[in-house]
Amino acid sequence: MMHVTDVLLSVLGAPPAYLDPGSGSILIQLLIAALLGIGIAARSYWSTIKGWFGIKSKAEDEDESDDK
């Protein structure tokens, strides 16, 4: 059986860079990122839906709260 990452491997290009990102590292990153991206999308839809009912979600820029 063909491994799912083999399919990705056949269609993707490597970015030009001075670091070698590593074939395996790119492929695994694609899989993880796809999975986690779904989570982020779901969360963003959920906060939109909550918004319709006037429920505010936590500040979007949470990572900037430590700005000084």
CB of 31 to other proteins, least distance (A): 8
For the CB of residue 48, give the shortest distance to other proteins in the complex, in Å.
14
Closest CB 65 distance from other proteins, rounded Å: 10
Which spans of this chain sit near other proteins (rule: CB under 8 A)? Answer: 3, 5, 8-15, 17-19, 21-30, 32-41, 44, 63-64, 66-68
Taking CB atoms within 8 Å and a gap of at least 24, the contacts of 52-57 are none
Name residue, tokens 């990153």: 29
Answer yes or no: are the C-beta atoms of 27 and 9 closer than 8 Å: yes
